[in-house]
Amino acid sequence: MKILFNDEPSQDVVSILAFIDGFASKFCPTKVISIEVQKIESIVQGIRRDFPHNDGLSESSAFKKVANFIAYFVAERPILEPFKESNLPSDILKISNHENSIVALLIGLSALHNAVIYQNGKTVSLDNPIELSKHSFVDIVDALASISPQTHFKLLTVFLEQMSYKTNPHCQYKTEQFK
C-alpha cells in the first residue's frame, strides 16, 4: 500500500494517521500524540492542489512529491505538542517543531522506499530504504524544522534524490566531475 498520493486523498489521510500511530507506539509509548486531523486533511489536499512542478503532479517524480509533502507537513504543524518522553535521541527533543519534522521525514522516507522513478525512458525502483546515521538524522530534523513549500521545495527534492541514490546506486544518473 502506498502511503502518499493514492487515487483517493482520504486514503492518504488514513495512511498518515496510521503511520503516526505506529510511530507513537514505537517511539513514544508512554505519551498520546495530539494531532489536528483537519490539518492532515488540509495537507493532503494542498500537496495536490498547489503542486509546484511545471508539468503538475502527474508528471512529477517521487522525489518532488515527497519533498512537497514534507514541506507542507512541517509548515502546517499538525502534531500539536513536542515529544517530551520518547525513545528518540535526547538532543533532537531540543529542536523547535521536531515533532513535525521527524514524522514528516519518516513518512517521506517510507514513501520513497520501493518508489518507481523514470530515467532516460526506463523505470527503476528504489529497492533499498534510505539509511541515516543518528547524527545526520538529528541534523536533517533540525534543518527541516522551519521549511516552507514555497522556499524549500526544490532543494529538498534534490536532497531526497541524492539520499536515495546513496542507498540505491543502481538508480543514479551517470555522474560527472565539475571543475
The answer to whether residue 2 is domain-embedded is no
**What's this model's pTM, rounded to 2 decimal places?**
0.92
The answer to whether residue 3 is domain-embedded is no
Count of domains in the chain? 1
Q: Residue 69 is part of which domain span?
A: 9-170
The Cα 40–Cα 85 span in angstroms is 23
pLDDT tens-digit profile of 34-93?
899 999 999 999 988 877 777 778 778 899 999 999 999 999 999 999 887 777 888 898
The answer to whether residue 23 is domain-embedded is yes
The answer to whether residue 135 is domain-embedded is yes
Mean pLDDT of the chain: 90
The Cα 141–Cα 95 span in angstroms is 8
> Which residues face 35 on adjacent strands?
79
Here the cell at position 128 is: 533499498
The Cα 104–Cα 68 span in angstroms is 10
What DSSP letter does each residue of 56-104 carry, written as one string?
-GGGS-HHHHHHHHHHHHHHH--B-S---S-SS-GGGGGSTTHHHHHHH
Nearest to 125 by CA among 168, 160, 162: 168
